[in-house]
Amino acid sequence: MPREITLGLAFTDEELTRAILLLQSDPEHFHERCRDEIVKPSLGRINITLQQENDPDWLAYFLEYALTETQRRMSATTENHNAGTD
């Protein structure tokens, strides 16, 4: 049975912070840089933590999707809040 993987389980706070900063500064090259600079150096630890072999590309896409979705939802919440205060 597949396990549920969360950002906080797969990545450290430092890795998540680096990923957020990378997404903000270089969204066009995020996937490649995230894979090479964040995921690959930590892959051994991530595999042990998640108790499975993981593909660095998949983890980089997972991280990108989760961060962009969180960003999108936060923007929508802020826009809805601001619309209610006008």
Give yes or no for a contact between 50 and 10, defined as CB atoms under 8 angstroms apart.
yes
pTM of the model: 0.81
Q: What is the mean pLDDT of the chain?
A: 90
Per-residue pLDDT at 1 exceeds 80: no
Q: Can you give the residue ranges of every domain in the chain?
A: 8-79
Structure confidence by residue, pLDDT tens digits, 13-72: 999 999 999 999 999 999 999 999 999 999 999 999 999 999 999 999 999 999 999 888
